């Protein structure tokens, strides 16, 4: 349903206060100052109807700036369970050495799987 990428500062925070305005302002600041970033968190809101007959998996695929002829790629997966009609939030973290080695994220795609069946996807404009 929704994917929110947030940069994390040296304290692991994505905002300085609970205000949405403050969060957006701080994210703009972190975009302009990459030396203040130590990671990125993707908050994913998802929903799946009906019972699960196979395990459900949420998958985040990332593409970064090219090193050589191909862009960097990384896939993160998490097993998930449904919790009613309202949906759930699941977070993916890319921090520390993995974040520094991967570099700048240029595109992302999130998919929800039940076994080997694709239930839904959300992707960035550049995917």
| pTM exceeding 0.75 | yes
d(CA 109, CA 102) in angstroms, rounded, equals: 16
Q: Residues with Cβ < 8 Å from 17, sequence gap 6 or more?
A: 23
Segment 65-77, tens digit of pLDDT: 877 777 889 999 9
Q: Provide the residue ranges of all domains of the chain, joining segments of one domain with +.
A: 2-123
What is 2-123's CATH number, 3.30.70, 3.40.50, 2.60.40, 1.20.120?
2.60.40
d(CA 66, CA 57) in angstroms, rounded, equals: 28
d(CA 43, CA 127) in angstroms, rounded, equals: 18
d(CA 77, CA 61) in angstroms, rounded, equals: 9
d(CA 50, CA 97) in angstroms, rounded, equals: 39
Low-confidence ranges of the chain (pLDDT < 50): none
**CB-count burial class (<10 Å; 0-12, 13-18, 19+) for 21:** exposed
Segment 44-64, tens digit of pLDDT: 999 888 777 889 999 999 999
């Amino acid at each position: 349903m929704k994917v929110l990428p947030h940069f994390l500062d040296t304290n692991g925070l994505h905002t300085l206060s609970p205000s949405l305005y403050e969060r957006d302002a701080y994210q703009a600041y972190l975009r302009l100052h990459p030396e203040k970033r130590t990671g990125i968190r993707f908050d994913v809101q998802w929903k799946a109807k009906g019972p699960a007959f196979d395990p459900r998996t949420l998958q985040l695929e990332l593409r970064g700036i090219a090193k050589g002829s191909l862009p960097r790629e990384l896939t993160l997966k998490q097993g998930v369970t449904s919790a009613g009609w309202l949906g759930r939030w699941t977070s993916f973290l890319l921090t520390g050495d993995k974040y520094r080695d991967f570099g700048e994220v240029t595109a992302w795609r999130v998919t929800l799987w039940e076994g080997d069946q694709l239930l839904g996807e959300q992707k960035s404009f550049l995917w």
